[in-house]
Structure 1
Amino acid sequence: MSCFGLILLFVIVYVIFGPIGVVILSIILIISSLSKVKQTNISVNGFDQKKGYPSYDPFIDIIKIFSYITLLDSVVSKEEVEYVKSFLISLFPNDTQRVQTLMYYYKEFNESPNRFNLNEAIENINRFAKYEERLSIFSVVVDFSLKSRKSEKVRETLFGIGKRLNLNIYDINSIINYYDKFFSKDIDNRKRWYSILGVSEECSNDEIKRAYRDLVKKTHPDKLRNMPETVVKDAESRIKEINEAYNNIKMERGFS
């Protein structure tokens, strides 16, 4: 598929399925590319092969980029960890061991950034992935970055990563501007969703689930059937608002 064809496909998917469709499409393209790559003897910087890392897993390079972005502000947020975990579960829904192994790498890289080389990771991706797949990987990286924090430093870093992935400037800017526009437009909605549930954006998925269940127990209209009709209607509106906020957060974070 040509670059123009891929961008057109992204646009069509966005129109039909929205932003979540774009992310899912990116994941599918990444799987179709990198899952075919056989493990090789390329070393993983800083890790002793005797400790169980004897071969190269192409997805480790994506994890390295995630870690690099994560450490730009020297803080590893719960949202970032949950994003990476949800992303890996989407890639490998039936391979818990691989998800755990890659999450272990993410944790190790975050704690010891000198253990990986970003340039080497990008060189490996360039070696194994075609242009369209590199574009998809870049889309996921941008999605992760702009959900985590919005700043010129991140934008400059993303632009540099895009160039090192040998993407043309038009495609780099198109992807960054697309996600930037989406998150700028929806940032107020996102804050409102979390506010409705009474949680912060730093909360874990489990904390959000607990908050949702507690709110449903307290406000469900079935408990107010003997109350005046206006009270019941208010409760119905409230529970609808709670459900919509929770479903939007679930969709954004990728948990069920």
Structure 2
Amino acid sequence: MGNFSKWLGAGLGFTLGGPIGAALGFALGSFVDGFSAEDLTSEQQQYRQQGNRNTQSGDFEISLLVLASIIIKADGKVDTKELDFVRNQFVGMYGKERANNAFQLFKGVIKKDISARQVCLQIRQHMPHASRLQLLHFLFGIAKADGQVAEIEVEEIRKIAGYLYINPSDFESIKAMFYNASENNYKILEISKTATNEEVKKAYRKMAKKYHPDKIQDLGEAHMKGAKEKFQSIQSAYENIKAGRGM
């Protein structure tokens, strides 16, 4: 198990158990001889003895891997551009060595049928809302990696959003960040075109607070890039609306 045991223990808490842990056990068993889901349970007991742990950077990392595998398979094929997107994002966030470990695990996870509902139930019990929003943003990035977001992928992400207790307005806001139509500026701020100038300003302040990168600072610097991209989308939408209205 060697390097993987060390990697798994370097920031994992809740994901060592439940349906996510089962997926990890399956994946590890596919390339670590003699490894089983029971061994992962043993790892979980070891880390639990170190004290109760909530969401760690590694938990977010593994949650991304598992949910990414669901989205990539949603359209019935495994697109190499989407796989490359996942790999490149992980290299950018964690560096090559850690990303290689994660992607090797990912290749095992993607072979297993996983219940999105059960996985999301486990995630939402332990992960704060801001981090769940970040997960959703990443999933749309995967869906668009091949140049377009297929409707079946949108519906799969919509289901995941519901399971994660992300409301429809937040879902539509993040979705709109991946389309270029002008009306998406209003969707990103979760308002309609009929909103008054004061309502636009109020919506911007609300959304800027909701998506501020500081909301996920506990996950570490590795995840700040995605958070800053979301925050920039909010700022750009606001600036575009202001320019269009002459505010």
Query: Please, what TM-score do these two structures have when normalized by structure 2?
Result: 0.51
Q: 1:74 to 1:181 in 2, by over 3 A?
A: same
Partner Cα distance (1:168, 1:67) in 2? 23
**Which of residues 62, 86, 89 is equivalent to 1:87?**
89
TM superposition shift of 1:168: 1.3
Partner in structure 2 of residue 165 of structure 1: 164
Change (3 A) 1:123 1:143: same
Aligned to 1:100: 100
Equivalences, count: 147
Q: Shift of the alpha carbon at 1:153?
A: 1.5
SS in 2 for 1:121: helix
Secondary structure of 1:90 counterpart: helix
Q: Specify whether residues 154 and 51 from structure 1 end up closer, same or farther in structure 2 by C-alpha distance, changes over 3 A only.
A: same
Question: What per-residue deviation string (whole Å, max 9, x for no partner) do you get for residues 160-215 of structure 1?
Answer: 11111111111111111221237xx9xxxxxxxxxxxxxxxxxxxxxxxxxxxxxx
Correspondence for 1:78 among 77, 80, 97: 80
Give the number of the structure whose residues are more often helix, by fraction: 1
Considering only CA atoms, is the larger Rg found in Structure 1 or Structure 2? 1
> Quick one: distance in 2 between partners of 1:69 and 1:75?
10
Q: Which runs of 5+ in 1 are unaligned?
A: 1-34, 186-256
2:13 matched to which residue of 1? 38
Q: CA deviation at 1:63?
A: 0.9
In 2, Cα distance between the equivalents of 1:126 and 1:162? 10
CA distance in 2, matches of 1:78, 1:63: 15
The answer as to whether partners of 2:15 and 2:63 remain within 8 angstroms in 1 is: no
Aligned AA (2:140): V
Q: CA deviation at 1:122?
A: 1.4
How far residue 119 of structure 1 moved from its aligned partner, in angstroms, is 2.3
Q: What's the CA shift for 1:37?
A: 5.0
Give the partner amino acid of 1:87.
Q
- What is the correspondence of 1:92-241 to structure 2 with a 5 Å cutoff? 92-93=94-95, 96=97, 98-110=98-110, 112-114=111-113, 116-148=114-146, 149-181=148-180
Q: Distance in 2 between matches of 1:158 and 1:78?
A: 19
The CA distance in 1 between the partners of 2:164 and 2:127, in whole Å, is 10
Q: Conserved in 2, the CA contact under 8 Å of 1:37 and 1:128? A: no
Report the CA distance shift for 1:146/1:40 in structure 2 as closer, same or farther (over 3 A): closer
The one-letter code of the counterpart of 1:44 is: A
> Which amino acid counterpart does residue 119 of structure 2 have in structure 1?
A
1:105–1:152 Cα change, 3 Å: same
* TM-score, scaled to structure 1: 0.49
Per-residue displacement from partner, 1:68-115 (whole Å, max 9, x unpaired)?
A: 11112232222112111111112212x61x3222212221233x232x
> Cα RMSD between the aligned structures?
3.1
Name the SS for the 2:74 alignment partner.
Answer: helix
| Offset, 1:131 | 0.6
- Gap regions ≥5 residues in structure 2: 1-9, 45-57, 185-247
- How far 1:39 moved relative to its partner? 6.1
> 1:41 deviation in Å?
4.3
Partner of 1:68: 70
